[in-house]
Structure 1
Amino acid sequence: MLAQGRADLRALQGPGRRRRQAPKKDQYVKNLDKGFSLEYAYDLVSGNVREVAYQAGEADAFYHKYSYDAENRLRLAYSSEDGRLWQKEARYYYYAHGPLARVELGEELLGSDYRYSLQGWIIGVNGLVKNAVWTDPGADGHETGRHRWFSRDEYAYGLGYNELAYTPIGGSSLNDGAAWSNMSGDILSKDGVSGLFNGNIAYMQTALPQLAREGMGSGSYAAAYQYDQLHRIMASNTYEYNGGQWNKLLRDGLNSPANPKNYGSSYSYDANGNILSLSRYAGGNQIDDLSYHYTYDVDPAQLPEVSSQAIGQLYNNQLQYVTDGAGASTVGDLTSQPGHDGAVATSSQNYEYDEIGNLVRDSSEQIEEIVWNVQGKVQEVHFEAGKPGPSVLQYEYDPMGNRLAKKKLYVDG
């Protein structure tokens, strides 16, 4: 049985369906983010979304519909421009014990195969040996395979936990033995144990053949992660696969034009588990040297507050502001929040909280006020004057706390 639900409480189909009033001429040109609607149809028993309509009945309308198996797992996804003629976008397959096994996009266009360990941890997607289709579980593009009409995989990734977690059929490939031997210095835990048996990821590999075809490196990269005794990430280092081995791009703290630091990071924490610092490198430069500041009890004689990480006792775990001590900047670089350049705060804290710890203000994002309801849900978000976009966001919920609607309010002028 279908029940009708929507972002603005209108039905998808039926004789009683209401239509939106036609927009004024050029309305969408002037207000690209204002004049649109989303409508949903869902199954009343399972709660699964059955159809989604974007701009139903308008010239730019677009529709999706979904079907599920007996265990309420997504099986098929379709799209349509008119709600009558449908095109298959994706088909989903599952292992007998439940996890997702394969996703096929379009009409035999691209397939992605998922692998897991005995513990249920995901091991990877597709095969990792570049251009060697027999390592792909689905054998996509192999001339004698069942999926020979599919294109070869354009991406793959693999996750390593420990050397016992997974061994592919047919023996080792690029995603186990070679990685462990070349990265052993980085994937050791602090107590010297090789490999992780608690679910933490020791390393991740990615394979993007298109990068190699375009001359942008080998197309095969990996990141190895280190953790402390409390399983918190402490550092990550990056590798590139060249010449039959993994070569480290972050060279043990050395930094020179011939030996630059690249794509590495390190982290530190206080005794309460709050993150204190984050350092990141790219292109031979340190692009982030972030310090996280919290509320501390301090001696009034020590004010104005300087690097609060070293003063007094921790008052609570509420983050106040973030500073960046690195001068270099690049794409993806994080900078000090406004009014907090360097170690000395030149204005009040960036984040403000209410009496029970809810965030109520974020100056760096130009959020003037966040209003919460008695259920602990965000009810309204008010933005500072002059910020592009809506002035207020409003959220509506049902008695169970499920979100029913999100409204964007604008101030003209």
Structure 2
Amino acid sequence: MYKHKPDYNKYFSNRDGNQGNKNINPDGSKPNWFKRIPFKRIWKITKIVLFLFLIFSALWGCVQMMQPDYIVSQVTDQFGNKMFSSGVGFEIAFFSESAFKSQWTVLIKGSPYTYSLNYVSSWGEAFTNTGFSPFYGFFVYPMSALLVWIVSLFSAVDAAGLMDPTSTSYGVAAFFSIVFAAIAIRGLTLAFSFKAQMNQGKMNELSIKSSAINDKYKGQTSNEAKMKKQREISELYKKEGVSQVSMIVSMLVSMPFLIAMLATIRASHAFKVGSVGSVSFIATPFSEMTAGNFQYLAIVVVYLMLQITTMFLPQFLEKFLSKNPKSYTAEQKKAKKKQLIFQIIFIVMFFFIINSIAAGVAIYWIFSSLFQVCQTVGFFIYRENAKAINEKKRAKKIAKLEAAAAKHKE
């Protein structure tokens, strides 16, 4: 006799698969109180508010860091020692009492001058001493406190029980605190931009196709042509289910943390006096290389290699390792060449930037780029095997339901 096979599709539907959901009534309907809560709208508004706060804080920090009272520049004292002049200093004194210093004596044109330090040792002071800056209060101080705490866990101490910046363990601990910051920040921003990163492969392809559409309407300045061009680009992204602004948003989300890392290296005593090997965290590669310290060249080379890998890896994976390699039209190939030119320009820009920032920030960028490489490869592997993975999950769930049904009959 023919035996009807149960239909398990309903268990894969959000509408019908309500078993075990406490927010569902026995008859399948949602409780009245549950219906009145606009969860999607609340989450959407929350994301918008958080995004605006991040951008606002980043802009505030960029402007504030350029003000004279916040600039921490390197100077030389009357004994020829390198020191750092006035500016907001997150000394985190409760971890290292040796950081208790409110003034610097420096030598300018042969005459000694004393600079005061805008000293910060508590979270409250991070607001009051910076004009209630959300950037310094919510980003720089917490990051400084966390990283210095990590350093204090593994650093050797002197006879007085204070951290010893001259010890090897101090520099290694500071180095790994920067590595931790890179991984943690990239992980946090990935949580905010997971969907955009999942669509990275599509975004690269769509960027090429949209450039081809722009070339198609090149020279046509009428409103009708502009509307047609915009409509075609919108339909292209809509067809693939990708938002045009998603990747831009994901990049902007990481900006406050990157700028805060720059401020942390410049303003925290632990990194001003720290070094790993012969590389000082606060020194800039270009100034050190011109002084003959070519060990900083390794930082520049490694970072540029990773940056080049990050830029070209998606195209390489799609072309040589994809199970379904893409074919491009003549217009799309032309657009792809333009994209390559822009990527080369960006690499040249990064070369100048990496030479002018603190080595500690460069180290952060190196491990952030390494995280990006691993992330790109991981998402590529997942996308290539997504169909098989989903089918496997479906089969596993069906087997589980069949076992539960058989057990129930017994």
TM band (smaller chain): under 0.3
Q: What TM-score comes out, normalization by structure 2 length?
A: 0.23
Of structures 1 and 2, the one scoring higher in RCO (CA 8 A, sep 6+) is 2
Q: Rg bigger for which structure?
A: 2
Which has the larger strand fraction? 1
Which structure has the highest helix share of the two? 2
- TM-score for the superposition, normalised by structure 1: 0.23
